[in-house]
């Protein structure tokens, strides 16, 4: 069991599962996810989270949200209409919160509708923390913070991994 092995090694947080929707076979991290059906992805992610967290290790569901490409993922915007966003892309993350009480959520590298996910108050605060009553912590993907402004953390991000902004 993944959670038990992590606990035995002194690991407190696992950066898994991936709850992104399979939109293109070229998606670089899509092999970590569970397919293209939001319900199926949500159920699979929820069961993995329960197994990890039952062992006393925090699971981190990722990459919130719209992270379905690899090329230029840190310089692209997933432009998604509100109904599709909530019904397809956000649904597995909602399941992770509501059905598994996931302890952590990782913000995606990409922007959503032209605002980087790690700096997107609508996503992190309005949806996750207020609408879904998420009580865990929100972490950036590694070097997935693009500014050093306090607005990043005022938007709802709790932890910048590993610190600093995107190199380059």
Catalytic residue numbers, as ranges: 141
Phi and psi at residue 18, to the nearest 5°: -90, 125
Tokens of 163: 């610190």
Which segments within the chain are labelled E, that is strand? 13-14, 58-64, 77-78, 104-107, 111-112, 115-116, 137-140
- Listing from the earlier edge strand, what are the strands of the sheet with 77-78? 77-78, 111-112, 115-116
How many other C-beta atoms lie within 10 A of the C-beta of residue 74? 15
């Amino acid at each position: 069991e993944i959670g038990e092995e992590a606990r035995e090694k002194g690991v407190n947080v696992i950066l898994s599962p991936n709850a992104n929707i399979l939109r293109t076979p070229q998606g670089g991290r899509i092999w970590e996810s569970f397919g293209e059906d939001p319900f199926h992805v949500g159920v699979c992610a929820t069961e993995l989270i329960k197994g990890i967290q039952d062992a006393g290790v925090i699971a981190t569901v990722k990459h919130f949200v719209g992270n379905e490409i690899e090329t230029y993922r840190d310089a692209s915007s997933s432009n998604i209409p509100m109904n599709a966003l909530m019904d397809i892309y956000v649904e597995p993350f909602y399941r992770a919160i509501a059905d598994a009480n996931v302890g952590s959520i990782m913000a995606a590298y990409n922007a959503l509708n032209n605002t980087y996910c790690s700096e997107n108050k609508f996503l992190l605060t309005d949806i996750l923390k207020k609408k879904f009553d998420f009580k865990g912590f929100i972490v950036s993907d590694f070097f997935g913070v693009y500014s050093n402004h306090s607005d990043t953390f005022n938007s709802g991000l709790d932890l910048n991994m590993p610190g600093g902004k995107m190199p380059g």
